[in-house]
Chain A
């Protein structure tokens, strides 16, 4: 069974640009989660999508947004990039709420 996949592996942008990160969940998983792992800030919950809807979001500004497609894959968009957005962005999926989450390898976003 294929795990959670994320693309791209690395992404380099300049301040003010937009970044788009993609995630494909494990087959049969309907929930997708996004987490940010920034240096010094640890792992922080960003967004949860289930059945195509945003169900919950963490304490992040609105320029962090995303969507979930009918095939349950997901996209995270970060607008108006700031230097402090540099981080490893991890996607996870689960069979639904209250099930363990399985993580992808992450996308390393660097904002210059």
Chain B
């Protein structure tokens, strides 16, 4: 099983450019998440989704947009990248409803904004 797959793994952007990170999971999970990880800050939740067609803001949503058009995919967009968005981004998924369990993570996407 592939689990949670993120693309691309690495990307360098110039300030003001836009890009989309794609997350795909093959576990039929209801809930999907985007986190960013910065040194000394742990993981901070950007946006999440509890089902196809739904999205919600997390702790640090500014500058990002998301979409969940299909259950298995969760896209994270940066419309106008800023150096402060240089980070490692992790997508994760988990079961929904009463039986939510641990998160399953993708391998991460390292983004550098110059």
- Indicate, yes or no, whether A interacts with B: no
Binding site for A on B (CB under 8 A): none
